[in-house]
Amino acid sequence: MTKQNINRREFIKLSAVGVAVIAGARAITQTKASSDAPKGERQWAMVIDQSKCTGCNYCTLACQAHNDVNPDIQWNKVAQDGMVGDQQVFVPRPCMHCEKAPCVEVCPVKASYYRDDGIVMMDYDRCIGCRYCQIACPYDARSFNWEKFTGANPAVPEWGTPEVDRRPRGVPEKCSFCYQTIDRGLSLGLKPGVDPDATPACVNVCPTGARIFGDLNDPESNVSKLLHEKYTYRLRENLGTGPRVYYIPAVADAKREA
């Protein structure tokens, strides 16, 4: 009889799958505990104005171009959500970059982790593909890449050019708030949310200004002012995840800007 060799990565993946559902449920029910996420000088957040969103999917396409995402995968999804008056309402959904992120809590190898600025990151080289994070996420913000992306990216160059490496096969991919653009912009003395060269691609490309980005710790930032002035809500915030994506709900008399 020949002995089948199973390497460490395969063993951990097989072990993880058996308890993934339990771990995911536990992560969501325990999220109301205080977060261990580091709190840096800056805390990035996004506000999405549903009265202005037209469902054009420009954000999805720009994201796919700048992050070199397989066209079969969407890091930024835009879903229809009924009508308000005679206006179709949409729910754009990037990663929520939660303060108490279930994906971080369940990852057995710490491939999901917090940056000091609140961005929830993925170390794709460390990831073992167990999909704990995908199961635990209550926002369906992760997409598992079953196949290696080797072809041309149809969103390039019309919607932008790739700024990060493609991920290896067999990992759950997700939005990163275009951290590479933020970091590069800050190194040049630019201000994310104000200067396009320091701002996430989905915010820059939005033709109606439905997406706003900025620093929650800066009372003069665009997001801080909006959160002070407008009524906002967050998706499934009753779970205690502390999403850093806020929504201004559509109202019947709001006028969209073309």
Please tell me whether residues 76 and 126 are part of one structural domain: yes
Residues 133 and 189 in one domain: yes
User: What was the pLDDT predicted at 154?
Assistant: 98
Q: How far, in Å, CA of 258 to CA of 255, rounded? A: 9
Structure tokens at 166: 């493609």
Q: Is the pLDDT of residue 137 over 60?
A: yes
Tally of structural domains, the chain: 2
Residues 27 and 112 in one domain: no
Is residue 166 pLDDT above 60, yes or no? yes
Q: Do 40 and 30 lie in a common domain?
A: no
Q: Which residue range(s) make up the domain with 185?
A: 35-257
| Pair 1, 52 in one domain | no
- State pLDDT tens for residues 75-113: 999 999 999 999 999 999 999 999 999 999 999 999 999
d(CA 130, CA 121): 16
Handedness of CA 191, 194, 197, 199 (dihedral sign): positive
Q: The domain that contains 64 carries what CATH number?
A: 3.30.70.20
At residue 97, the 3 state secondary structure works out as coil
Question: What's the CA gap between 236 and 227, in Å, rounded?
Answer: 18
Q: How confident is the model at residue 21 (pLDDT cuts 50, 70, 90)?
A: very low
108 near 9, Cβ under 8 Å? Answer: no
